[in-house]
Structure 1
């Protein structure tokens, strides 16, 4: 068995100006048996590095600095592989932003071989300090993916980021305030009175199904069963109008629709312009309807007509009080009000876990339970101990 050795020696020399200089040199052989050397200003640092390097060589995870690449270069290679894997444009754009704004400015010039778990933890701490927690977590995931890709390319012996975990934070409920029942009724009445049949169909669909705006924009007629009264969520449209499957397995689901929505969809189907992909809500130019057009041309006029507005920057400007996404919460609140169990609500809204459902709607479940308990308490107070 070949013996792996290293030595630390002092080197002294004179500069062209005659100044005396010295440094400590670590001589060693890498896993391939090639002689390597690294220089340090202090013997303490040289000794410490030699011990770690020898252990890495023995484990087969050592990467000499001289052949290592930088984080910035590794990030470019990873991003190229992501682009080649035909990921969604919005996903690629997010990764590009992580690298350009947060990774390269912090550690782009750092060589992969010089990264350690403590250094990575310091990077993570800096992202957590300067960014929102969700964004810092996403940036760190991209960073780990870069190192994993680099390891697969043999650009570094190990991914030291795998030993670093995002510290847990107290779970906070993302409590939402959905439209009131009075507001929902006003919106439905305004939709029924509107001359915009497409807008009416969109409004009724989002209120009674809780579908995401991207899922509504990507909805095809083949996914709607008007006979049985149901709609299947099986594709979505991203920000650039490209169609694809839901982002997760839980996004695939079937949602019942009431007769009111079935009737409106039947009427809209007769008037709906042709689209080669049979989209339910195509744009006027026969393309995938953009989120902006859906909100501005179809949702806002109905909300304004219903009086569900807030004051804009200009005194004479009425702005829709809610975005398309709030109707997703409206549907969930109505299901909860009708005493659907949490697991069923999770399935209908397409959440990946029941915990997410409780984080967002837990207070609504509590209110529903408390309302039922209060009603029973009143009944007991009125009729208890009576002959």
Structure 2
């Protein structure tokens, strides 16, 4: 490997460039031109290490980000990932990655380039959550390219996150709050009282099992044991109206249910539309109900009827404020179930330990449970308990 200078004259002006001349691990000769000797020397040193380790990828042997993206999506499909997951990755590639860096070659994706790309996404109106999601996707794309021998480094992994930034993000992150993200017990009672028919049974089931919306949409009668008073989660319905496995291995779980819900489900079973899938909450013809229909027809109307609403900031033609359901998404009912499991019996809850809460919720790890709900667990040193312990010291 050598670094040499090259001079030429254009229009009477003498110009200089520096060239790294090397042979890769396959015996193929390559040249790369730089503006300065410093850049050429740094490249030459790094290339020597890569060739020695037989991991070097020359610029001529790599491909564009867009082309690598096609390989990545194909790999995801071959790995039999969920259709909704692949659709999300494809959307990231088409709408957020390819328009900005799709024409760049993989070897050009350095840490500064990735940083600039993420900043550009934010400057072009992408939310912080979307920028994080796209960052994960471009990192996965580069990992796939590494395995194919198309690029040496994954600049996304090299970026990492500084502790200070992680701490700052955690400091500003809002925890789920009762009355904001989690309905109060009084609100839940009012919503159930205002609901009718299958809407009432659905909401009761969501509140007293904490099942995900996809799990409720895919719930079969064969997975409901009314004699043992328990529901076993074995499948879910995805955004494409297809039945598949639960979100994770921990998603497969058995949930005990109270007698009130058993009675409601028994009554509903005699009225439930039949279908080949044997679903508990199907369409009128027995098929998979759309998530949007459940939200708009089963969940929002009882909230509006019960007065569980918020002002939208808009006004109708008569000047009256337009109201909307206070809890727009079904996940609020899952949050409520978690809080019910966690709260002390004297506060109307079950007082279960974190590990049991994790199992009932179907979280992939105990860390997920604690990250979301740790502030709801009793601290063990509140009120009378602290007074009693203090008196033992002071008396």
| TM-score, normalised by the number of residues in structure 2 | 0.83
Q: 1:324, 1:118 → 2: CA distance? A: 40
Alpha carbons of 1:154 and 1:303: their partners in 2 closer, same or farther (altered >3 Å)?
A: same
1:356 aligns with 2:368: yes
Superposed, 1:283-294 pairs within 5 Å as 283-294=283-294
**Structure 2 unpaired stretches of 5+:** 344-349
Alignment partner, residue 331 of structure 2: 325
Query: 1:47-71: per-residue Cα shift (whole Å, max 9, x none)?
Result: 2221211221111111111222122
1:23 aligns with 2:17: yes
Cα distance, 1:269 vs structure 2: 0.9
**Structure 1 unpaired stretches of 5+:** 1-5
1:347 aligns with 2:353: no
Q: Tell me the number of residue pairs that the alignment of Structure 1 and Structure 2 aligns.
A: 371
Alpha carbons of 1:19 and 1:208: their partners in 2 closer, same or farther (altered >3 Å)?
A: same
Contact 2:309 2:323 in 1 (8 A): yes
Alignment partner, residue 137 of structure 1: 132
Alpha carbons of 1:174 and 1:234: their partners in 2 closer, same or farther (altered >3 Å)?
A: farther
Alignment partner, residue 3 of structure 1: none
Contact 2:84 2:238 in 1 (8 A): yes
Q: 1:370, 1:272 → 2: CA distance? A: 48
Superposed, 1:41-52 pairs within 5 Å as 41-52=35-46
Q: Which has the larger radius of gyration?
A: 1
Contact 1:61 1:158 in 2 (8 A): no
| TM-score, normalised by the number of residues in structure 1 | 0.85
Q: 1:139, 1:117 → 2: CA distance? A: 15
Superposed, 1:265-304 pairs within 5 Å as 265-304=265-304
Q: 2:37, 2:208 → 1: CA distance? A: 72
Question: Which of the numbers 38, 53, 60 marks the counterpart of 2:54?
Answer: 60
Question: Which of the numbers 89, 107, 112 marks the counterpart of 1:95?
Answer: 89
Partner SS for 1:148:
helix
Q: 2:115, 2:209 → 1: CA distance? A: 43
Q: Using CA pairs under 8 Å that are at least 6 residues apart, name the structure with larger relative contact order, 1 or 2.
A: 1
Superposed, 1:2-13 pairs within 5 Å as 6-13=1-8
Q: For structure 1, which segment, 6-15 or 66-75, has the greater mean C-alpha deviation from structure 2 after superposition?
A: 6-15
Alignment partner, residue 174 of structure 1: 175
Q: For structure 1, which segment, 109-118 or 72-81, has the greater mean C-alpha deviation from structure 2 after superposition?
A: 109-118
Cα distance, 1:128 vs structure 2: 7.9
Q: 2:50, 2:70 → 1: CA distance? A: 26
Partner SS for 1:103:
helix
